[in-house]
A and B are shown apart, each in its own frame.
Chain A
Amino acid sequence: DTEVTQTPKHLVMGMTNKKSLKCEQHMGHRAMYWYKQKAKKPPELMFVYSYEKLSINESVPSRFSPECPNSSLLNLHLHALQPEDSALYLCASSQALRETQYFGPGTRLLVL
């Protein structure tokens, strides 16, 4: 089973809202990732957690705040987003940092 789940599938929010994206995997993977993907572009890495500790932070604006409550869950808290933040947000996980990454279905975010 190589399933990564993400909720919600779609999200529309205003620029003053606070929302959270959730990601879950039950494969025993110890590394989890957040990517942002704009239309017709490849995924761009945002954050990497390894053993529940932040490993890579790609200088993402502070309006994006990641959280890894345990080895199976990864959240992305959103606050005061801009319209240009509208994109497909992808979660991925891997057995370890150097292993194959498996992606979830994504959350389509629209910021109005």
Chain B
Amino acid sequence: EDQVTQSPEALRLQEGESSSLNCSYTVSGLRGLFWYRQDPGKGPEFLFTLYSAGEEKEKERLKATLTKKESFLHITAPKPEDSATYLCAVRSSTITQGGSEKLVFGKGMKLTVNP
């Protein structure tokens, strides 16, 4: 069973058409939920870290929210340059190796914004 699930797997929007990306998680002992943006062939670019339910963070057209079971990445009036794959990852006190907590990634959501 996947511990981090992102939906939808792919999303096409028209420029200016707002939408939300979902990241649901089943881990306990959440130590942080992370959103990254990744362009093809490049490394993930950090967007947000959320630690507790009810927390919200914003950056330009993006807003991330967190509940006890999921996180949403809201995109307001997207532009073509927002096209990318968005990765969600969680850190949990129960997912460890060698005494260290591991980051668990979802499979990503490919967003395409058409002009």
Rounded to whole angstroms, the CA-CA distance of A105 and B45 in the bound complex is 9
- CB of B43 within 8 A of CB of A90, answer yes
B115 interface contact, C-beta 8 A: no
B31 is contacted by which of A56, A98, A106 (Cβ under 8 Å)?
A98
A81 interface contact, C-beta 8 A: no
- CB of B43 within 8 A of CB of A103, answer yes
- CB of B100 within 8 A of CB of A48, answer yes
- Given A2-B46, A98-B91, A105-B43, A56-B103 contact (CB < 8 Å): no
Q: Which residues of B contact A105 (CB under 8 A)?
A: 42-43
B102 is contacted by which of A41, A45, A50, A92 (Cβ under 8 Å)?
A45
| Complex interface residues of chain A between 84 and 107 (CB less than 8 A to chain B) | 88, 90, 92, 97-98, 100-106
- CB of A43 within 8 A of CB of B44, answer yes
B49 interface contact, C-beta 8 A: yes
- Given A42-B108, A103-B43, A98-B102 contact (CB < 8 Å): no
Further 8 A-B residue pairs, CB within 8 A, beyond A45-B102, A55-B100, A102-B46:
A42-B108, A43-B87, A55-B98, A88-B41, A100-B34, A101-B34, A105-B43, A106-B42
**Interface residue ranges, B against A (CB under 8 Å):** 31-32, 34, 36, 41-46, 49, 87, 89, 91, 97-103, 105-108
The 7 nearest A-B residue pairs measured at CB: A42-B105, A103-B43, A106-B43, A103-B44, A105-B43, A56-B98, A55-B100
**Interface residue ranges, A against B (CB under 8 Å):** 2, 4, 6, 40-43, 45, 48, 50, 55-58, 88, 90, 92, 97-98, 100-106, 108
